[in-house]
Structures are given as structure tokens and as C-alpha cells.
Structure 1
Amino acid sequence: MNVRRLIPATATLAAVSLGLVTLSACGGSSAADDAKGPGGKLNVIASFYPMQFLAEQIGGDKVAVTPLTKPGVEPHDLELKPKQTAQLSDADLIVYLKGLQPAVDEAVKQSGAKATVDATTLTSLETHGTEAGGHDHGGEEAGHEGHDHGHSHGEKNATDPHIWLDPVKYAEVAKGVGKALEKADPANAALYKKNTDTLVTKLDGLHTAFKDGLKNTATKTFITTHSAFGYLAERYGLEQEGISGVDPESEPSPARIKQLQKIAKEDKVSTVFFETLASDKTAATLAKDTGLKTDVLDPLEGITDKSRGSDYIEVMRSNLVALKKALGAK
């Protein structure tokens, strides 16, 4: 009797042990998923909207993207909260643009995070100008050797970080972000590759729309509050005149305002552009003093309910409409 009882008891013990192993294995898988982020998604932190847009478009439902710069916040002078800084250490991937937000650059460095992608390493950056607020001369036909003096922010030979406003350069960054996601999450690499290709196709279409839409214009010069459009100006043969430099909060000198009034007259400028996240006071004053119209040209540093579109593509197309109108496109 004791022997007969021993056999099923041993079998039962083995089954229980096997069950525990199975549960343990399942528990380990769940823990791994939780480490990825909510719902087992890849935990991606993006520095500001243009990086957020790429991560969301390419990552799809396999990623949970947390932006460091909230909607409506001007990104250049962002100050991070301790909680945000702590989040960087736990991220599966950090997508940022070095040189635009000093606080983010320092936090990424201090976090020790290994899985990071800096957008400035994914395309070529250009040094624009020798003094703040000068004349931009660019054009695709010039091989991108234009001279944009509007980005130096008071410094000589400053590198312009606004690469996302050139659809061609932004597509190059998109490809790099896609590869970073593939590396961070190999199980979903095929999906990331497919989504990257889809986004690049959209950006190619946007580039074609700008190239065709701005080919024939009455003037090539536009005045804008914030000197963010140097790459766009070079790509499509335009001339940007920034009231301020790379920092939208910087104040132009009286000499710069006088220079802009002269340029507006000589180049037959019709419109002074302002933007959604920065004050339009100076732009409005310049427009009034020179008898010019005002309109919005969005540098797409953030999306709010005031934006002319719900995402990057829509707002860029709105920018194209505004430019065509202001420049007298035929």
C-alpha cells in the first residue's frame, strides 16, 4: 500500500515542481515586458516634438513615447524636473538633438544611458553665418553652400540645429531613428523598417511639394521672428531674414530692425512671419512700421491647439501654403 501511494505522490510532486518552473518562466517573461514599459512596449524618451514624432511614427504600437518638452513649452530654454532626469536612466531608448537643449544634453550625459540616438549624428549639419541677423543666401542649386547669417545666436560660426525643417534632412534622421529602434527591439525590427519606409515616402512627397510650390515666386526673401528656417531656405532657393537669432527670446538691435526695413523694401517682402510658441510683439511692430502683413510660419518645435495642423506633415504643408502666398508663388 505504501508503495502504491508513493508512486502517485511522486508524480504529483513532479507535476507541482514542473508547474512552479513554468510559472517562474512566465513570471520572468512578464518582468522583462514590464521593464520595457507600459504593456510591454519599448520605453522611448524623446527630447522635443520633432523627435517624438519620429519615434511615434516609426515605433507605432510597439513603443511608449514620453516627451521631455510638453506641448506649448518653448524647447530652447527647457529646464528638466528631477523626475524627468531620473526617467532617462530607465529608458530603453533616448532620442534627442544635441545642441538645441543644453539641459537635455547634460541630463543624457549624466544618466549613463547606453541606448541613445543623437539626431545630429544622422545627417550633416551646417555652419551658418558669422553674425546674428544677417542676410541668408541659399539654394539647392548652390549645393547647400548658402550663407545664412541668422542662426549664430551672437556667436561666430554657430552650427544650426534646425535640421527637421528640411524634409530631406529629416528623412535622413528618420532612417537613423528607425535603425536605433531595430537595434533596441530586434523582435519588431521588420515592423520598424516598414514604418520607416512609409514615413520616408511621406517626407519625400513633402519635399516634392515644397520644391514644386516654391520654384517660381515673385520674391525669394522672407522675414521671420525666429531664425529657424536656414536649412529650408537653402533647400528651396530662398533667403531667410531672422528678426532674432536661433533663440526666439533674444532681442534684435535697433540697427537690425533698420536693416530689415531696408531689406523689406529692396526685396519686395510682403509678410513678416511670427510663430506659435514665441512672442509676436516684435514681428507685429516691424510689420506695422513697414506696412507689411503678418502670418504664421511654424518652426514645429511643438504642437498645440493653435498649430495649423495636428502633426508634422500637416503643419509643414500649412507652412508651404503661407510661404507661397507671401512670396507670390506662380
Structure 2
Amino acid sequence: MTFRPAPRALATATAALLALTGVAACSTDDSPAGADPERVDVVAGFYPLQFLAEQIGGDAVAVTNLARPGAEPHDLELNPGQVGQISEAELVLFLDGFQPAVDEAVEQNAGDRAFDVAGVQPLLDAAAGGHDHGGEHADEDEHGHDEEEAHAEEEPAEGESGAKDPHVWLDPTRLATIGDKLAERLGAVDPDRAGDYTQRATALRTELEKLDAEFTEGLKTCQRREIVVSHAAFGYLTQKYQLEQIGISGLSPEDEPSPQRLAVVAEEAREHQATTIFFETLVSPKVAETIAQEVGAQTAVLDPIEGLSEGNGADYLSVMRTNLQTLRTALSCS
């Protein structure tokens, strides 16, 4: 049965009641889409897409994040209410390949209302930004990163597995480009406010370019350039800022590293005199702590910003800046 919206008078009364009871414009509940007729109803698969929609949509949008605060979004399972939200939303933001349950629901229910941010720019190969195990690496100096940087600007070749890295938001300039495209899509849905969306996207681009400049300057001169991370989510960040990631596990934080992999990571951590083994907020730090104990390093949080911890008041920009300070300390940057 096709969902039929309530009469406008009832919808308006409902919106007024929600406003009186202090319901926020962004939610993660299972309320039906279209509750506020004055706003564009947007459903986002996970936090960075919520951030974009809120920044660019402003008061003109009502954003629902399918992934609840504090939950790891990779393995999100949707309940019937959330599938209904996708069916009724005016725009659905998702990243194909990142959340299989969302991909399936979008394919079956969203139609041309879906916006796949993975299609804005070519995604990097899953191995991008990783550690070079070749014999020449020991002789690399800071000039050895030039070729990496040039390669990062090219469309990556398919790896043997064909896997792509979805963590595109960790490059602020790529996130800004996605934001520009989102403004276009919102303008198509809501032509009367298209100019407002474009203006806010331009303002967000300015903020993200400022953040990019802070990372570029802050990581320019560091004693080390290798980061040991709990899962290989930082390929975009390491490519952009000429670092190298050594991932304990692969693209998914749920991947269990083998004993052989743990031994390899420990050896590389010693080789590069790593002082810090990074873990993240939404998964267990136990593996990172094991490596750190073995090599005599400490642990610290490096947040891939797949989601936010509940009630900490942070946003994408503040978490990225915290990440920058964490990296500067761990890599002894001047």
C-alpha cells in the first residue's frame, strides 16, 4: 500500500506540537517521513552525511540519521520503521558499499530520490595510503612521498580484490565537493531555496578548505610519517597529507587480524619507532592495546568519524581538529 500523507491541516498541527515539545530537526527515531511539510525530509545513512545535510540544508531540511549515536555504522541493521523512512524521504544520502543493509533498502525503496555520494568522485583503492612493504622503502625520505601524492590525484586502479575505500570524508576537500553536489540535489528538490543551499555549501567549503590548510601546515614537518591504526580507515587522510597508515585490520573494524598480521604490525611499529598505536571510539581498543604493550608504545584515539559518541557535543570539524592535534603529538611534528 502506498503511504498517503495526512491532510495539510493535520500535518501542520503535528509540526506545531513537535515544535512545542522540543523535538530537534535531526533525529534517529523511527517517526514517519514528511512530518514537517515546511522542510525537505532527508535521510542520511551515517554521521558525516548527516553533517553535510545539516550544514547545507540549514533550517530548510529535517535530517534523520539511520545510525544511532555511539553505534558502529558498518553493520547497521534496519528496522521496518527505518525502511519506511527511506521509502518516504524526499532525499536519501548514502555511500554505496559502506552499509550493506542501507544499500539494499535504497535499491528497493528510494528510486531516483537516492544520492550516492560514492559517485561524486572516484573512490581510492582499498590499499591506498597504506604502507609500502618493498625493499626501497627503508631508503625513502620526505621526497619519496611526491609520487604518492601525485598518484592520489589519479583515479585508482582496481586492486586484486577490487575493493574501494569508502572513508572519503576524511579528506576535507573531497567532502566539500560532495557538499557542492548535495546543494545541487537539494536545489532540484526544493527550487525556491536553491540559492540558499548553494550559499551554505560555499560557506561550508570555506570552512573545510581552512581545515585542510590546518592539516597541511600542521603535518608538514614531523619526525615520523607512519601511523599504526586499528583499522585501515585513514587512506584518504594519509594520501592527502603524505602520511602512511599501517592497519592492524582491514577496512571494516570488525575484521579480526590474524596472529601473523599482529606480528607484522608489531615489527613495523618497532621499525618506525612508533610511539603511539591508534584505536577509535566506536570499537574495542583491546587489539591496539596488545600491540602497544608489546612494542612499548602508548595508545590514543584517532577517530574515523564514522559516527559520534552520544552526548559529547562534538561535530565533524571539532573531531577532525582533535585528530590533527593527536597526530601532531604522536608524530612529533614541529
Q: Do residues 285 (structure 1) and 285 (structure 2) align?
A: no
Alignment length (residue pairs) = 295
- Classify 1:213/1:256 alpha carbon distance in 2 versus 1 (closer, same or farther; 3 Å): same
Question: Deviation digits for residues 17-51 of structure 1, max 9, x if unmatched?
Answer: xxxxxxxxxx9876898885415211100000000
Question: Deviation digits for residues 244-302 of structure 1, max 9, x if unmatched?
Answer: 10110111111111111111121121100011001100001110111001100000011
Equivalent runs, 1:108-257 vs 2, <5 Å: 108-129=106-127, 135=132, 139=145, 142-145=148-151, 156-257=161-262
- Equivalent-residue separation in structure 1 for 2:177 and 2:110 (angstroms): 26
Partner residue in 2 for 1:13: none
Which ranges in structure 1 are unaligned for 5 or more consecutive residues? 1-26, 147-151
Give 1:195's aligned amino acid.
R
- Classify 1:31/1:198 alpha carbon distance in 2 versus 1 (closer, same or farther; 3 Å): farther
- Equivalent-residue separation in structure 1 for 2:172 and 2:221 (angstroms): 19
- Does the CA contact (< 8 Å) of 1:46 and 1:67 recur in 2? yes
Shift of 1:116: 1.6
Shift of 1:141: 5.8
Which ranges in structure 2 are unaligned for 5 or more consecutive residues? 1-5, 16-32, 138-143, 153-157
Structure 1 stretches of 4+ with a deviation exceeding 3 A read: 27-37, 133-144
- Equivalent-residue separation in structure 1 for 2:235 and 2:208 (angstroms): 18
Partner residue in 1 for 2:21: none
Secondary structure in 1 matching 2:269? helix
- Classify 1:155/1:142 alpha carbon distance in 2 versus 1 (closer, same or farther; 3 Å): closer
Shift of 1:74: 0.4
- Equivalent-residue separation in structure 2 for 1:179 and 1:141 (angstroms): 34
- Does the CA contact (< 8 Å) of 1:224 and 1:274 recur in 2? yes
Shift of 1:145: 2.1
- Classify 1:102/1:193 alpha carbon distance in 2 versus 1 (closer, same or farther; 3 Å): same
Equivalent runs, 1:301-320 vs 2, <5 Å: 301-305=306-310, 310-320=314-324
Structure with the higher fraction of residues in helix conformation: 1
Shift of 1:189: 0.8
Shift of 1:127: 1.3
Q: 2:304 aligns with which of 299, 304, 314?
A: 299
Partner residue in 1 for 2:332: 328
Shift of 1:305: 4.1
Partner residue in 2 for 1:62: 60
- Classify 1:39/1:28 alpha carbon distance in 2 versus 1 (closer, same or farther; 3 Å): closer
Supply the RMSD in Å over aligned alpha carbons. Answer: 2.5
- Equivalent-residue separation in structure 2 for 1:274 and 1:62 (angstroms): 37
- Equivalent-residue separation in structure 1 for 2:45 and 2:294 (angstroms): 38
- Equivalent-residue separation in structure 2 for 1:155 and 1:184 (angstroms): 39
Shift of 1:115: 1.6
Give 2:321's aligned amino acid.
R
Give 1:45's aligned amino acid.
V
Shift of 1:157: 3.2
Secondary structure in 2 matching 1:117? strand
Secondary structure in 1 matching 2:299? strand
- Equivalent-residue separation in structure 2 for 1:162 and 1:67 (angstroms): 17
Identity of aligned residues (%): 44
Partner residue in 1 for 2:265: 260
Q: Do residues 272 (structure 1) and 277 (structure 2) align?
A: yes
- Does the CA contact (< 8 Å) of 1:141 and 1:237 recur in 2? no
- Classify 1:217/1:306 alpha carbon distance in 2 versus 1 (closer, same or farther; 3 Å): farther
Instruction: Give me the TM-score of the superposition, normalised by structure 2.
Output: 0.82
Shift of 1:144: 4.6
- Does the CA contact (< 8 Å) of 1:91 and 1:113 recur in 2? no
- Does the CA contact (< 8 Å) of 1:58 and 1:196 recur in 2? yes
Secondary structure in 1 matching 2:251? coil
Give 2:271's aligned amino acid.
E
